[in-house]
Amino acid sequence: MHSVTHMSRLGCHHRPITEPGRVSGKYGQLVDQVPLDAALAALATTQHAVFELDQLRDAGLTAGAVYRRAATGRLHRIHRRVYSLVPARLLSREGHWMAAVLACGPGAVLSHRSAAALLKLRGTYRARIDITVPARSSRTHAGIEVHRSTTLVPTDTTRVNNIPCITVARTQLDVAEVLNRRGVERVFDQAEILEVFDLRKLEDQLARNPKRRGAQIVRAVLAEHYIGSTATWSKLEEEFLAALRAAGMPQSQVNEWIVLPDGGPAIRADFVWRARRARIETDGYRTHRTRQAFERDRGSDQRLLAAGRRSMRATRRQLERELDQVVAATVALLRL
């Protein structure tokens, strides 16, 4: 009798320990803690550690079990019906983007400024996340700016790092509604640099969305801007370009290479006016302070002069404190 009792206890110890509120789902009959956590971990690796409530149910948890896990810190509520394995403050930027997409329901995609950042067309420090939904939904979410579209079709969407997102062409149209003209030019330039600029797809967006506010700006940029010619590399260059435009200066090319007939290495020019054979360098101290950079810069100036080209340098301090003087000197340089 004692032996039977002992065996019964051992059998009890070997039985799977179930979690209250567990149900079976499409992942199979999950009857103990290890398979459940393994299923959640596997899903987390593909979704940047965030889940929608229905996904947790499919993994084997009831709504009650999800709420209990959230109460004990094993799950963390990010948005309505969206949970994470880690607190919101520890989520990656991609995790916040994925959570925002899941919060907005089926068909929702990252868009506008947030999509431009994911696609590496433009950085953003904006806290609110742009999401487009293919319906006239009135639901709002904290920290999410919802854009509603009745023209969004499957071909306008893609996945980047497994995050549902609009395509490059759709992003170029969308940002034209939320950025200024120069911001749109920079997005187009970056698309060209990344070799993802597709004029045919962009024209398709314009044909299907002719009355959108951004369509007019996109058409103007395509007609007036040489795509890829003004890709600035720093805030300093961007501010100087804006000052030149404000002064009515002829359009320059930015960060272009000059090949001289002397057979030497090509020279990178911050700003170049090829027709006027002029070039300006905006020298930050950090990148031009070494002896090697000092010698290289002087050698480049001498080669340009020998080839009949004019060159001028402006320091960061001058551009920050004496911008009008630098612009006036540029005017004089181009008139020579």
Residues forming beta bridges with residue 164, ordered by sequence position: 159
Domain C-terminal end among 29, 54, 87: 87
Residue 173 confidence (pLDDT):
97
Same domain membership, residue 127 and residue 207: yes
| Structure confidence by residue, pLDDT tens digits, 199-251 | 999 999 999 999 998 999 999 999 888 776 676 767 777 788 888 888 888 88
Instruction: Judge contact between 205 and 172, C-beta under 8 A.
Output: yes
Is 112 part of any domain?
Answer: yes
Residue 280: CB atoms within 10 A of its CB come to 23
Tell me which of 58, 87, 116 is where a domain ends. 87
- Cα 103 from Cα 144, distance rounded (Å): 9
39: in domain: yes
Q: Are residues 98 and 209 located together in one domain of the fold?
A: yes
Contact 265, 303 (CB under 8 A): no
The boundaries of the domain holding residue 282 are: 235-335
Note the pLDDT of residue 15: 37
List of the chain residues with pLDDT < 50: 1-18, 23-31
What's 268's domain CATH number?
Answer: 3.40.960.10
CA angle 94, 174, 251 (to 5 degrees): 110
Evaluate whether residue 44 is within a structural domain: yes
Alpha helices in the chain (DSSP H): 2-14, 33-46, 53-59, 63-71, 93-103, 112-118, 168-175, 181-193, 199-208, 213-224, 235-246, 285-288, 291-306, 316-321, 323-335
Indicate whether 2 belongs to any domain.
no
The count of structural domains within the chain is 3
Q: Give residue 29's pLDDT.
A: 45
